[in-house]
Amino acid sequence: MIHDLLLFAHVIGAAVLLGTGAGIAFFMFSSQRSQNPALIAHVAGIVVVADWLFTATAAVAQPITGYFLAQAAGWPLTSGWLAWALLLYVFVGVFWLPVIWIQKQLRDLAQTAAAQGAPLPPRFHRLYRIWFACGFPAFAAVLAILWLMITKPTF
């Protein structure tokens, strides 16, 4: 029963990471295309909350549930598909941590522009490009981790 609950929590966490990552990217991309500072500020505000509420929670739960599942199965954390999944998880974190800060900056810059009735400043566009670029390798790594978890290939 404990194993089933851990597995359920682990799968839900993986779905949350994938889903919030895709959803956040879609909504930020869509709002940014409008170039409407008020809309972008609103969406970015929701994105910041969603990232902390959902992504951060799942990001903490994944290694905990994964550790206990690996221990129960007798899988060493430092070998095979599991080691690759853990390395990719760290890789995702390297891209996600700056993204959290960037999202807050994007929100704040858009709020200021909206309050002043001004266009988005050049700094917004520079940060957005970095935010956008960080998403591709991180999302690809999340997909690779899911593939490893499902297929458990031997190396």
Domain count, the chain: 1
Q: How far from chain centre, in Å, is Cα 124? A: 20
Instruction: Name the band, by pLDDT with cuts 50, 70 and 90, for residue 1.
Output: confident
Q: What is the pLDDT of residues 67-91, one digit of tens each?
A: 999 999 999 999 899 999 999 999 9
Helix runs in 35-79, H state only: 37-50, 57-73
Q: How confident is the model at residue 155 (pLDDT cuts 50, 70, 90)?
A: confident
What is the number of other CB atoms lying within 10 angstroms of the CB of residue 6?
18
Average pLDDT of the chain is 96
Considering the entire predicted model, what is its pTM? 0.90
What DSSP designation does 119 have?
A: P
pLDDT higher than 90, residue 56: yes
Structural domain harbouring 15: 2-151
How large is the average pLDDT for residues 141-147? Answer: 97
User: Which whole number is the average pLDDT over 125-130?
Assistant: 98
The C-alpha atoms of residue 31 and residue 20 are separated, in whole angstroms, by: 16
At residue 152, what are phi and psi to the nearest 5 degrees? 45, 60
